[in-house]
Structure 1
Amino acid sequence: MTLPLPAPVFDANAQGGKDLGKLPEWDLTDLYPAPDAPELKRDMDWLEKACADFASDYEGKLAGLDAAGMLECVLRYEKIDLIAGRIMSFAGLRYYQQTTDPERAKFMSDCQDKITTYTTPLVFFSLEINRIPDDQLDALFEANEDLARYKPVFERLRAMRPYQLSDELEKFLHDQSVVGASAWNKLFDETMAGLEFQVQGETLGLEATLNLLTDHDRARREAAARELAATFTNNIKLFARVHNTLTKEKEIEDRWRGMPTPQTGRHLANHVEPEVVEALRDAVVNAYPKLSHRYYELKRKWLGLDKLEVWDRNAPLPMEDPRTIGWDDARSMVLDAYTDFAPKMAEIAEPFFHKGWIDAGVKPGKAPGAFAHPTVVDVHPYVMLNYLGKPRDVMTLAHELGHGVHQVLAAGQGELLASTPLTLAETASVFGEMLTFRKLLAKAKDPAEKKVLLAGKVEDMINTVVRQIAFYDFECKLHAARRGGELTPDDINALWMSVQDESLGPAFNFMEGYETFWAYIPHFVHSPFYVYAYAFGDGLVNALYAVYEEGNPDFQDKYFEMLKAGGSKHHKELLAPFGLDASDPKFWDKGLSMISGMIDELEAMEDGAA
């Protein structure tokens, strides 16, 4: 039960700017007042004893428990999960505020080491649960309604039954995790946070350099892209070593477990059937020509170029107003959009702004990108941004606040049932983004502004759907190739370019050095095959939003009920009230047609607003 840290999620749409007003910072005292706080020591001491007592009371005895006894066991396990989660949330969030601070890195490692040691005796729990016959467990659920509420937890554990190792091996894997994947993750994070890029006389970090890829000045975009390529190339042996090691470690564990594919573990964790993911993947790849290829050909014309270079992919349009949006205005835009949908949504989001639940500014050593971390159900989520004041930054705020609203609503399920699988975790975030986009589009003052907004949304959706499925294909190829032996940096570069050309299309040239851009994507390191969840979430929300626009009765009530369910229901059950089914291949076409329809609009507007 080693607690996962809140991994930073790169947001390809973060932007740059100044004069933003006072940006909020995290107040982590709702978790603990300080690293040396007596409350933290109290909880760590409690955790050590609680884990030992749990093992003493239950190891070897789970199969003999009656329904009341099993419920008490589950509640004790849940409390351990909550306290361990609180400690690691505090340690992880402090670390991501300043990943280059050795004290913060040491504190997080020490907490992780202790919790891993304390929770090792609990490994028996899932192993013994999985040895109880189905009919015996079903009888316990029938006998106790409170226990039956936890049935989804048992179902998730039992999904791993075919891949379970011996008790001794499971304990070994749990123990050595702190010097395995998590150690390589930390090396990657610290290396990325410490990189410096020299762009036109300025020394910049990764986030600020990536932001320049959206600069109005094409020469500045090119300088940033070439410096990124040069720096990644200089460090490519290290990044190749990280990927080779993590991919091989996964292959070894998958082989021992008997998992049929490298993706199996992710599909099980996401509670999604492999054929549903493949239907999504195939639908998106088949749609490349009518989505990304078609859009980038339009953009090439707008920019007046014979070919797009990679530094033009996220370039602003020529007619785009290079305005900076202050923090207060961004807050109003998002909360107004949320209020228009349902006042309750804005009421849940509002405290994030004034209670220290958002860390918005760009600071040296801070992790790049953006995320919303749910912490634990008896505290509240925290949102991290790198806010630099461009319109797409407002979309990132809307996105992460959507996560926050979802996490607040799901907290009522309790620690073991609140967390949603990745495939559903993006629902409220992408929906919040869509609400904000539609609000801004309705207020557009002329066709040129509407065109810029539409183009920006299409680019965001391409980044979320097309790019992430291309990333998924890259990972599939990477893990398959690694099974044949060690991969050189050139080998990995070639795999990367094979999906870039296919997904981006003929409008692009690819500069020398772009083949190394796989190196900075954190998902490949932190969460293998995570990326398809973005495309799943975007497709799901596009279909959901279409139902909303069609005037589905009581949509808001159904929507909040879906978010409140957290991880307690399967995607089929959650989508049924809306008349949707993600296992139907046509479901994905419904979502993709929304993107295609926006490109139709842009093509129709071209003559009038070019």
Structure 2
Amino acid sequence: MTAMPRPVFDANPPAGGKDLGALPEWDLSDLYTGRDAPELAADMDWLKRACQDFEKDYKGKLGDLDARGMLDCIHRYEAINAKAGRIMSFAGLSYYQQTTDSDRVAFLSDCEDKITTFTTALVFFSLEINRLEESHLQGLLDADADLARYTPIFERMRAMRPYQLSDEMEQFLHDQSVVGDTAWNKLFDETIAGLEFEVQGEVMGIEPTLNFLTDPDRDKREAAARELGRVFSANLRTFARVHNTLAKSKEVEDRWRKMPTPQTGRHLANHVEPEVVEALRNAVVGAYPRLSHRYYELKRKWLGLDRMQVWDRNAPLPMEDPALVDWDRAKATVLDAYADFSPDLAELARPFFGSGWIDAAVRPGKSPGAFAHPTVTDVHPYVMLNYLGKPRDVMTLAHELGHGVHQRLAADQGELLSSTPLTLAETASVFGEMLTFRKLLAQASDPAQRKVLLAGKVEDMINTVVRQIAFYDFECKLHAARKDGEMTPDAINALWMSVQGESLGPAFDFMDDYQVYWAYIPHFVHSPFYVYAYAFGDGLVNALYAAYEDGTPDFQAKYFEMLRAGGSKHHSELLKPFGLDASDPAFWDKGLSMIEGMIDELETME
């Protein structure tokens, strides 16, 4: 309930500021003014008492509550979540600003330890809710409309009923998490943040090195790719140990819970049916030849190469303008694109820029990648970027602002209902990217500029859809294999390579050490099977955008209502007003056809 924010780490960003204008930094004082703030100490004390009082007042008594008593109980539980969320947001965001600062690391660990200890008193809550008879709970919901609003919360808790363990075991798993999976996550984060790479005589961290993979200079791209492989290989035993331990930890818990597959927990958390995910996965894999294989063959020709190497995958096109986009122009581009769709959308995004809600500069020790963290519903989201001024960084800004707007709109649902399942969490972000892309495409002054924009969008969509489904397949293979015993680094490498050739296609050769590139992907460590949510979101938005272009009546109003719903509705309910159904395999084909159509246009330009 108090998970700290996890960055997206989608692999680009280094040390910002040069020729980009004044890049904003976070002002975390809307949460707390500092680690020694008296308000933080008071909130920690309140949280301890509130958890103790909650256990004393409700443990063993939930079955005796009437509807109004259950509503009061839910409100108290929600208040505890909000207070813990505020503290952990502050600690987590402070940490991600400087992951190598020992004081911040210690502060985060202390907060996690204390809150884990306090909230042990709440473990009984979901367990007792799940022991209530269906007819009894339904009677309570039918008796009070205010309580009925929380139906999705009860449904999510009770989805775990078949997999619930004893009270003592559930409490043990809760207590030991800080020295279990959470500790391994920190080891991974700190190892990644501490890596050093030397590229053409310059020593740097992982983000500047990854950024060189998009450099116009092919020699620099190759040097960076080989150095990444060398350093990952040098640390491979650590990364293999992290993955082996976490995969085994998950296998043990899943086995005790009698979960049918390693993916079941993620599907339950995402409120999505396994067959829907399987339909998405199969549609994407079936489309590899029509999407990534075909596109990369085009790119090979544009680059004038006989064979593509892995360091050419994200290379800029020869006709691409290398000019950087300064911060003010990036801001204007995204806000204008949002305003073209709806002035209200731009107004929701505007406060991020002048209120310390964005941290954009790249600094040593700062977390790589980008994310938007909602904090708690009575504050506001915070966006992290590593802004380098590349056109793709503008798209990342549009993406994260989409998350931020979504989180602001959903905040009215309250702490328990505002959080959107991962499968829908990418909706506003990818839609914001699409709005920005379409605006830039409409402004393209010549065919070469249009070609560059189309190619860039296709690459982004392939990275979002094809790459992430390949990641998902790798995780499925890894967790299946770990059931049979310890995985050697070579065995993990082989699984990685088994999905890379299939997804990228015959245009590529793979250098020595590319087999270790699985090592730096944080989603595998922090959030197993998270990655399919990106493909889900991209396919969903492509279908949504097609409905928008087709002139669906009152589209903007329906879109805002979908975002405001947060986590209060199932994806089937949210998509119904647009005439869309994610359980229909044709839904995913429709989304993929948009990417295919862009590749068709690129082919006609040859």
Normalised-by-shorter TM-score class: over 0.9
Q: Are the aligned partners of 1:15 and 1:214 in contact in 2 as well (CA < 8 Å)?
A: no
Distance 1:14 1:445, change over 3 A: farther
Is the 8 Å Cα contact of residues 13 and 460 (structure 1) preserved in structure 2?
Answer: no
Give the Cα–Cα distance (whole angstroms) in 2 for the partners of residues 588 and 389 of structure 1: 33
Amino acid at match of 2:321: D
CA distance in 1, matches of 2:10, 2:268: 26
The amino acid that maps onto 1:270 is: N
Whole-angstrom CA distance in 2 between matches of 1:519 and 1:13: 16
Q: Which residue of 2 aligns with 1:289?
A: 289
CA contact (8 A) 1:292 1:503 kept: yes
Deviation for aligned residue 1:5:
1.2
- Measured in 2, the distance between the counterparts of 1:14 and 1:552 equals 38
The equivalent residue for 1:41 is 41
Matched, 1:4 2:23: no
Please give the alpha-carbon distance, in whole angstroms, between the structure 2 residues aligned to 1:551 and 1:299: 34
Give per-residue Cα distances to partners, 1:474-524, cap 9 Å, x unaligned: 000000000010001000000000000000000000000000000000000
Q: How much does 1:16 deviate?
A: 8.1
The alignment's C-alpha RMSD in Å is: 0.7
2:273 aligned partner: 273
Q: Determine helix, strand or coil for the equivalent of 1:203.
A: strand
- 1:374-407 C-alpha deviation (Å, 9 max, x unpaired): 0000000000000000000000000000000000
Distance 1:269 1:180 in 2: 20
Q: How does 1:205-604 map to 2 (within 5 A)?
A: 205-604=205-604
- Provide Cα deviations, 1:111-131, integer angstroms capped at 9, x if missing partner: 000000000010000000000
1:181 alignment counterpart: 181
- Partner Cα separation in structure 2 for residue 348 and residue 190 of structure 1: 35
Distance 1:526 1:284 in 2: 24
Distance in 1 separating the partners of 2:130 and 2:273: 20
Counterparts of 1:191-206 in structure 2, within 5 Å, are 191-206=191-206
Give the deviation of 1:533 after TM superposition.
0.2
Paired amino acid for 1:8:
P
Letter in 2 for 1:282: N
> Which string of whole-angstrom CA distances, capped at 9 and with x for unpartnered residues, describes residues 540-586 of structure 1?
00000000000111000000000000000000000000000000010
CA offsets, 1:438-464, max 9 Å, x none?
Answer: 000000111000000000000000000
Deviation at 1:8, TM superposition (A): 1.4
Instruction: Output the CA distance in 2 between the equivalents of 1:191 and 1:354.
Output: 34
Tell me the equivalent position of 1:127.
127
Distance 1:353 1:316 in 2: 29
Counterpart Cα distance in 1 of 2:15 and 2:484: 42
TM-score using structure 2 length? 0.99
SS in 1 for 2:418: coil
CA distance in 1, matches of 2:453, 2:184: 40
Please give the secondary structure, in 1, of the residue aligned with 2:34: coil
SS at match of 1:130: helix
Contact (CA 8 Å) 2:15, 2:362: kept in 1 or not?
no
CA distance in structure 1 between the aligned counterparts of 2:347 and 2:248, rounded to whole angstroms = 47
Residue pair 1:15, 1:390 contacting (<8 A) in 2 also: no
- Matched with 2:85 is 85
Q: For 1:515 and 1:431, locate their aligned partners in 2 and report how far apart those are by CA, in whole Å.
A: 33
Secondary structure of the residue aligned to 2:387 is coil
Distance in 2 (CA, whole Å) between partners of 1:597 and 1:102 is: 50
Runs (4+) of structure 1 exceeding 3 A deviation are 12-18
| Native 8 Å contact 1:31 1:90 kept in 2 | yes
CA distance in 2 between partners of 1:319 and 1:146 (Å) = 59
Given that 2:14 and 2:363 are in contact with CA atoms closer than 8 Å, whether structure 1 keeps it comes out as no
Distance 1:562 1:173 in 2: 35
**Amino acid corresponding to residue 128 of structure 2 in structure 1:** E
Matched, 1:152 2:152: yes
SS of the residue aligned with 2:366? Answer: coil
Q: Is the 8 A contact 1:246 1:525 kept in 2?
A: yes
Judging changes above 3 Å, is the alpha-carbon distance between structure 1 residues 582 and 16 closer, same or farther for their aligned structure 2 residues?
farther
Q: Which moved more, 1:45-54 or 1:10-19?
A: 10-19
Q: Secondary structure at the match of 1:231?
A: helix
Alpha carbons 2:13, 2:362 under 8 Å: kept: no
* Counterpart for residue 22 of structure 2: 22
Find the aligned partners of 1:601 and 1:529 in 2 and give their Cα distance: 33
Amino acid aligned to 2:339: T
CA deviation map 1:60-86 (0-9, x unaligned): 000110000000000000000000000
What secondary structure does 1:288 align onto? helix
Question: Which has the larger displacement, 182-191 or 4-13?
Answer: 4-13
What is the CA deviation profile of residues 158-187 of structure 1, one whole-angstrom value per residue up to 9, with x for unaligned ones? 000000000000000000000011100000
Length-normalised TM-score, structure 1: 0.99
**1:350-380 deviation digits (Å, cap 9, x = unpaired):** 0000000000000000000000000000000
Q: Does 1:72 align with 2:61?
A: no
Relative to structure 1, the CA distance from residue 405 to residue 446 in structure 2 (aligned partners, 3 Å threshold; closer, same or farther) is same
Q: Is the 8 A contact 1:229 1:513 kept in 2?
A: yes
Give the CA deviation at 1:9.
1.0
Question: 1:12: how far off?
Answer: 3.4
Q: Do the aligned residues in 1 keep the contact of 2:15 with 2:364 (CA within 8 Å)? A: no
Residue pair 2:13, 2:368 contacting (<8 A) in 1 also: no
Aligned residues: 605
Once residues 586 and 255 of structure 2 are traced to their aligned partners in structure 1, the CA distance between those partners, rounded to angstroms, is 34
Secondary structure, counterpart of 2:308 in structure 1:
coil
Cα shift at 1:14: 4.6
Q: Partners in 1 of 2:149 and 2:276 — Cα distance?
A: 27
* Structure 1 residue matching 2:463: 3-state secondary structure: helix
Please give the alpha-carbon distance, in whole angstroms, between the structure 1 residues aligned to 2:249 and 2:298: 43
Q: For structure 1, which runs of at least 5 residues remain unmatched after alignment?
A: none
Q: Provide the C-alpha distance between the structure 1 equivalents of 2:322 and 2:108, rounded to a whole number of angstroms.
A: 40
- Identical aligned residues as a percent: 78
Could you tell me how far apart the structure 1 residues matched to 2:306 and 2:204 are?
Answer: 31
CA drift of 1:532 comes to 0.1
> Closer, same or farther in 2 for the Cα pair 1:464/1:16, shift >3 Å?
farther
Amino acid at match of 1:380: H
Contact 1:422 1:533 in 2 (8 A): yes
